[in-house]
Amino acid sequence: MSATLCLVGGTFDCFHAGHQALLEAALDCDSVEVWVTSDAIAAEKDPRIKPLTERQQSILDWADGRSISTHTLEDTWGPAPTRAEATHIVCTPETQSNCDKINQMRNEGNLGSLKIIVVNHVLAHDGEPISSSKIRQGSIDREGNSWILEKDLEHSVHMPTNLDAELKEPMGTLFPGPEDTPEVAIQAAVEAIPAFSPCLVAVGDVTVNALLEIGWVPDVGVVDGLTKRTKWDGELDTSSFVGHLTCENPAGQLTPDLLECADLALEFAFSEEGGPVLLEVDGEEDLAPILIHLLAPLGTVVLYGQPSAGVVLRVTDESTKARCRALLNTFETR
């Protein structure tokens, strides 16, 4: 019996459980060629997609020496219409029609049809298919688990005292600057924002005001009228904000009210009819970045003030979400 060769094509960003299922099915053949979308094509889809070399390496790391090789896909069809040695092709239900077209092209070129292996989607915790776009959107991890849990919406939680020292350390890159002119640190932080960041969230009255002072309007601004837990004596110009939300969140706590409003603020900021949102917290917003990172799309930049030191910039990535989820899991219900 002749050797079998299976072709697989795709972007393979944020290599996840669905990708694994696809390749497991392909490995029923003797060898597998994975044709991974080039950086140029991927960038047109979403500039946040990881570099080709990283996407290919994730596949090879998972394969762990099994008969999988990776190649660069430079066009829509790749080698499938003309590769004489190929015998199989793997797809998901919505891309099966592309495989039918490939077989039509092969028949026109006097090549045998590929056997089409259709692999159903792996479902996330919410019952929807796991996808790279949903991972980049920030709602699920690579196994399909939601970053926000039902329990987070059910009751307020209190920060345990043993986290106090840890949370006082900058969770990100600190941009130092004089306390009486916060615009210095803010300007440095703004210049460090990645080019393709989808969203800017600023937490704290001084931080939001300093951004406005240098001409930047955050997509979401979170304020509580306090600085260093005392009343802020400044005056915030709210005219640049299209949306305005209020919520309650006592000091040292994280409430479902804050979570729901932060989610609404991000949703409105991203909507076509939306715009910048100011979220005013009755209580304290110091812990808000934990929830914001869990809610936000990958690539979101969160800025917050570090008392007497400057401003901290943290990009929302998968490791940030994992840390915030771990932190939130230690919070206590009383």
Give the predicted TM-score (pTM) of the model: 0.92
Query: CA-CA distance, 35 to 50, in Å (whole number)?
Result: 15
Task: Give CA torsion, residues 259, 262, 264, 267, to 10 deg.
Answer: -120
DSSP 129: B
Per-residue pLDDT of the chain (334 residues; tens, 9 = 90+): 689 999 999 999 999 999 999 999 999 999 999 999 999 999 999 999 999 999 999 999 999 999 999 999 999 899 999 999 999 999 999 999 999 999 999 999 999 999 999 999 999 999 999 999 999 999 999 999 999 999 999 999 999 988 888 887 888 999 999 988 999 999 999 999 998 899 999 999 999 999 999 999 999 999 998 776 778 778 899 999 999 999 999 999 999 999 999 999 999 998 888 899 999 999 999 999 999 999 999 999 999 998 889 999 999 999 999 999 999 999 999 7
The one-letter amino acid at 322:
A
Helix H or strand E encompassing 115: strand 115-118
| Domain coordinates in residue numbering, the chain | 5-137, 150-330
- pLDDT for res 146: 97
**Helices 17-26 and 52-63 meet at what angle, rounded to 10?**
60
Q: How many Cα neighbours within 13 Å face the side chain of 170?
A: 19
Q: Which CATH number applies to 5-137?
A: 3.40.50.620
- pLDDT for res 272: 83
Cα–chain-centroid distance for residue 163? 25
